[in-house]
């Protein structure tokens, strides 16, 4: 099995160079400027939405048809400064544990290492706490065709709703805030002793307190644990209760994908309101698990893009398109590192459009199909009829 760092290093360090200029990328994309201007590409009909459906952004509720360009369903705009150092420390510890177990994936302990066992965060000012810097990054992404971004953070990841509101207001970029609990290494300590019903009530409290527009990212760490199963069941119940869409984190290489959907669906979640995330890491030319998820009605997320891993993801996406599953795909880059932003020489928040999508077009994906994936599918996930009025 390929070591996890070989997959995540391109995401974190982001040193891949596609060789495309922005002009070249948008020319290949064929839809960047047009989507930013709200034009419909291709002949497929616009999706229809239930009466009263809205997209809940951090600043206001908006009609789904107001978002006419690409939505990135899983990015990060607000994390605590120590989140990624903690994440990397846990990932490397698990790699070492797998290697020590001969690659079997379960080396001793049944639960991941605690998130507190991590090196200190970098002393430099953290980019996700700099309003002006992040505003500039979002303005650039908007100019490159992005119409809406879903932030995959929530309280246990250090997400700051007020920060999201500030950068949304200053940049003009609609931002949808996620909610829930991330994965066992990052859970609040009390989760271990809380019942499923208590976790369910805690999620509803988040949704009531903040302008939450989706439940995500909701994760399992490599091998799913009993505590994570408890959280997934609570999230499934919360989806049924709130109508919000859900997007998940499956770990690398996504071996818990099917079980995540099982847990959510059995708890009451509708599969067509769920994205099983990071399935681009589940490398299989036959895309058997991916197809199985689609057949059950769920979306599958290809959401770590802009690096060397694209070479593995593009053929899998094309195989799913050939199998007729365009309306079950979702794209995003899961940006979480300072190395990835434009200021630091990275591809920025629009890299899904400027780096990944041109490769799909070169492989034969049409503008109409890409419109379905980038524009229609995220609106179908995010549009919901609220059961309670907005409070914030």
Could you state, in chain order, the average pLDDT of each consecutive group of 10 residues for the chain (392 residues)?
Answer: 36 35 42 42 66 98 97 98 93 79 48 52 78 98 98 97 98 98 96 98 97 97 92 98 97 87 98 97 95 98 91 97 98 96 97 97 97 98 94 74
Residue 338 has a pLDDT of 95
Q: In this predicted structure, what is the pLDDT of residue 131? A: 97
pTM across the whole model: 0.86
Strand partners, 302: 331
How many H-runs (helices) and E-runs (strands) does the chain carry?
Answer: 15, 10
Q: Does domain 4-40+50-382 have CATH number 3.20.20.140?
A: yes
- What per-residue confidence (pLDDT) applies to 222? 78
The span from the CA of 24 to the CA of 193, in Å, is: 54
Q: What share of the chain is helix, strand, coil (3-state, %, to 5)?
A: 50, 10, 40
CA-wise closest residue to 57 among 42, 68, 67: 67
Interacting residues of 123 by C-beta distance below 8 A, sequence separation 6+: none
Please report the pLDDT score of residue 113 as a whole number: 57
How confident is the model at residue 95, as a pLDDT? 78
Q: Quote the Cα angle for 141-278-269, to 5°.
A: 105
Domain ranges of the chain: 4-40+50-382
Q: How many other CB atoms are found less than 10 A from the CB of residue 148?
A: 25
> How many Å apart are CA 39 and CA 241, to the nearest integer?
35
Q: What sign for the dihedral angle of Cα 140, 145, 147, 152? A: negative
Closest CA to 75 of 346, 340, 356: 340
- pLDDT given at position 115: 52
The predicted pLDDT at position 9 comes to: 38
User: What span, in angstroms and rounded, lies between the C-alpha atoms of 114 and 187?
Assistant: 9
Query: Is the backbone peptide bond immediately before 230 cis, with ω within 30 degrees of 0?
Result: no
């Amino acid at each position: 099995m390929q070591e996890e760092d070989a997959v995540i290093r391109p995401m974190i360090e982001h040193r891949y160079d596609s060789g495309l200029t922005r002009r070249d990328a948008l020319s290949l994309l064929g839809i960047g400027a047009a989507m930013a201007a709200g034009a419909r590409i291709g002949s497929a009909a616009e999706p229809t939405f239930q009466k009263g459906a809205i997209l809940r952004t951090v600043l206001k509720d908006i009609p789904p048809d107001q978002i006419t360009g690409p939505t990135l369903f899983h990015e990060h705009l607000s994390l605590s400064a120590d989140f990624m150092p903690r994440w990397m420390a846990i990932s490397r510890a698990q790699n070492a544990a797998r290697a020590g177990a001969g690659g079997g994936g379960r080396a001793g302990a049944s639960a991941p290492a605690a998130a507190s066992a991590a090196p200190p965060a970098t002393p430099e000012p953290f980019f996700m706490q700099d309003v002006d810097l992040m505003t500039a990054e979002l303005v650039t992404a908007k100019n490159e065709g992005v119409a809406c971004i879903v932030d995959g953070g929530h309280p246990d990841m250090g997400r700051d709703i007020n920060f999201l509101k500030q950068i949304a207001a200053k940049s003009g970029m609609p931002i949808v805030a996620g909610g829930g609990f991330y994965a066992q290494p990052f859970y609040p300590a009390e989760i271990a002793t809380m019942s499923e019903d208590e976790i369910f009530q805690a999620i509803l409290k988040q949704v009531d307190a903040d302008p939450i527009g989706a439940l995500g990212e909701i994760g399992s760490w490599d091998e799913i644990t009993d505590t994570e199963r408890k959280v997934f069941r609570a999230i499934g119940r919360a989806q049924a209760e709130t109508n919000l869409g859900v997007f998940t984190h499956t770990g690398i290489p996504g071996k818990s994908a099917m079980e995540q959907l099982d847990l959510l669906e059995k708890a009451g979640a509708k599969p067509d309101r769920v994205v099983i995330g990071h399935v681009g890491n589940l490398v299989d030319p036959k895309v058997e698990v991916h197809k199985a998820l689609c057949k059950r009605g769920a979306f599958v997320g290809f959401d770590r893009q802009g690096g060397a891993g694209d070479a593995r993801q593009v053929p899998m996406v094309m195989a799913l398109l050939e199998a007729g599953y365009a309306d079950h795909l979702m794209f995003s880059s899961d940006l979480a590192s300072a190395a990835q932003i434009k200021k630091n020489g990275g591809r920025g928040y629009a890299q899904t459009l400027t780096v990944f999508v041109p490769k799909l077009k070169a492989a034969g994906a049409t503008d109409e199909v890409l419109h379905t994936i980038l524009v229609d599918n995220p609106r179908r996930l995010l549009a919901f009829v609220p059961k309670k009025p907005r409070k914030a």
